[in-house]
Amino acid sequence: MTKPLVKIHNVQDNSEIIREMNDEELAQLAIDQANAEKAKQAELEAKAKKETALAKLEALGLTTDDLKALGLGG
């Protein structure tokens, strides 16, 4: 499997080195990706819950404006 490439730009002499990600960087990337996935799922779940709640409201003949009028839902 090809490892991701990293470019190190030395801005002092404007030189560039391109190398493969080392083990430490690969491990950190795996952590980052797992956390990003977790956050993505949390966002999707929140979005799905909101849509479900809106559907329930609609079934009751209510809108978000009705909730606001009751001091609920911001």
Partner 1 sequence: MPTIGSNSKPAYVYDAQTDTWIPVGPGEHTHDYATSAHNHDSTYIAKTLTTTTGDILYASSANTPARLGIGSSGQVLTVSGGIPSWATPVASDSITLLSTTTLSGVQKVIISPISQDYTHLEVIMQDFDAGSNSFTIYFKLNDINPTRINHTFRGSYATGNYGAFLEPNFSGVSNRQGTIFIRIPFYKTSGVYKTFHYFGGYFTGSSTVGQHETTVMGSAYYESYSTAISSIAIDSGENNWDSGTVKIYGVK
User: Which residues contact partner 1 by CB under 8 A?
Assistant: 4-12, 18, 21, 25, 28-29, 31-33, 35-36, 39-40, 42-44, 46
Nearest residue (CB) to partner 1, 54 versus 69 = 54
18, β-bridge pairs = 7
Contact between residue 43 and residue 56 where contact means Cβ atoms under 8 Å apart = no
Based on the number of CB atoms within 10 Å of its own CB, is 67 exposed (0-12), middle (13-18) or buried (19 or more)?
Answer: middle
Nearest residue (CB) to partner 1, 9 versus 56 = 9
Nearest residue (CB) to partner 1, 44 versus 69 = 44
